[in-house]
């Protein structure tokens, strides 16, 4: 957990959960497991001390960290884990989303998963937003003593939460991108690293055998599309997503909401 990050596409990391388990070939080159974890697991002052990477744990004491960060920033969620790992309870994921809802007009959160089926099912569960809204209101009341029930409303998808999937080859692209597109999100994005082979993401076949234009639906990892190409694409779109992305591009580091 750090309010600064060396990752080129984010500004800070937030790890309310740590630890993960291999699910696909790209995990062989996991930076968190092979570069960061060995060092942190030797430090008795960290939550990683003495643990194996496969030991998945949640850390409720870390949930409020983004609330304490007053300066707006782009935050990578769970750089040392996967928020939708099967060992992380739904109730804890709801708490994470409640914190992101509380800071909707301050931070942008980047959620990345290799488990998009669970992410889709979690966010498509009926009345999920009601639970998250209640948790956000409770946390606000505990912090301030003020009851926000009359004015605080949480609607999914949260406009400050980017939901993305990791794809490392054509098989994972074909599997994960359609699931991402079935997930309600203000912004969808891809992380294509480590890229083990060339992949075609122009069109991906969905479960009904139809072709869907992923270029127009996903905020692509920057090495696959230039800023100029993306701006041109966003201008061509007539929906809120295009306007939202243009706003982000024109005001980097600031919160931009679809009108």
Pairing of strands 57-58, 17-18: antiparallel
- Domain ranges (residues) in the chain: 12-225
The two three-digit tokens of residue 214, written as one number: 């992923």
pLDDT (0 to 100) of residue 210:
54
pLDDT (0 to 100) of residue 255:
30
| Alpha-helical regions (H) of the chain | 31, 37-40, 65-68, 90-102, 116-123, 128-144, 170-181, 227-236, 240-250
pLDDT (0 to 100) of residue 155:
82
* Contact assessment for residue 9 and residue 222, using Cβ atoms and an 8 Å cutoff: yes
Q: Which residues of 159-178 are buried (b: 16+ CB within 10 A; e: fewer)?
A: bbbbbbbbbbbeebbbbbbb
Closest Cα partner for 167 from 13, 23, 7?
Answer: 23
Beta partners for residue 13, in sequence order: 2, 76
pLDDT (0 to 100) of residue 200:
79
pLDDT (0 to 100) of residue 63:
96
pLDDT (0 to 100) of residue 209:
59
Mean pLDDT by 10 residues, the chain (259 residues): 63 96 93 92 95 97 94 93 98 97 91 97 93 91 78 83 92 92 89 83 63 50 47 50 44 33
Helix or strand holding residue 75 (H, E): strand 74-77
The two three-digit tokens of residue 36, written as one number: 């960061």
Q: Using alpha carbons, list the distances in angstroms from residue 69 to 4, 50, 63, 65, 104.
A: 11, 29, 12, 7, 13
- CA–CA gap between residue 109 and residue 18 (Å, rounded): 17
pTM above 0.85, yes or no: no
Closest Cα partner for 19 from 34, 37, 45?
Answer: 37
């Amino acid at each position: 957990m750090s309010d600064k990050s060396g990752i080129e596409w984010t500004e800070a990391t937030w790890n309310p959960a740590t630890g993960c388990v291999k699910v696909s070939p790209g995990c062989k080159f996991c930076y968190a497991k092979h570069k960061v974890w060995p060092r942190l697991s030797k430090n008795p002052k960290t939550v990683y001390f003495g643990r194996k990477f496969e030991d998945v744990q949640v850390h409720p004491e870390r949930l409020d960290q983004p609330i304490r960060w007053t300066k707006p920033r782009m935050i990578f969620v769970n750089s040392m884990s996967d928020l939708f790992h099967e060992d992380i309870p739904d109730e804890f994921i709801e708490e994470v989303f409640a914190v992101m809802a509380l800071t909707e007009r301050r931070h942008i959160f980047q959620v990345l998963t290799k488990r998009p089926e669970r992410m889709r099912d979690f966010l498509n569960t009926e009345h999920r937003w009601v639970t998250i809204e209640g948790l956000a209101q409770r946390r606000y009341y505990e912090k301030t003593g003020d009851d926000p029930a009359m004015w605080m409303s949480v609607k999914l998808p949260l406009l400050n939460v980017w939901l993305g999937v990791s794809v490392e080859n054509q098989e994972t692209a074909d599997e994960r991108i359609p699931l991402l597109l079935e997930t309600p999100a203000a912004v969808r994005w891809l992380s294509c690293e480590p890229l083990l082979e060339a992949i075609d993401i122009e069109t991906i076949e969905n479960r009904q055998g139809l072709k869907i234009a992923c270029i127009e639906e996903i905020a692509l990892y920057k090495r696959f599309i230039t800023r100029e190409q993306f701006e041109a694409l966003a201008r061509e779109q007539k929906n809120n997503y295009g306007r939202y992305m243009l706003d982000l591009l024109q005001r980097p580091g600031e919160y931009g909401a679809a009108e």
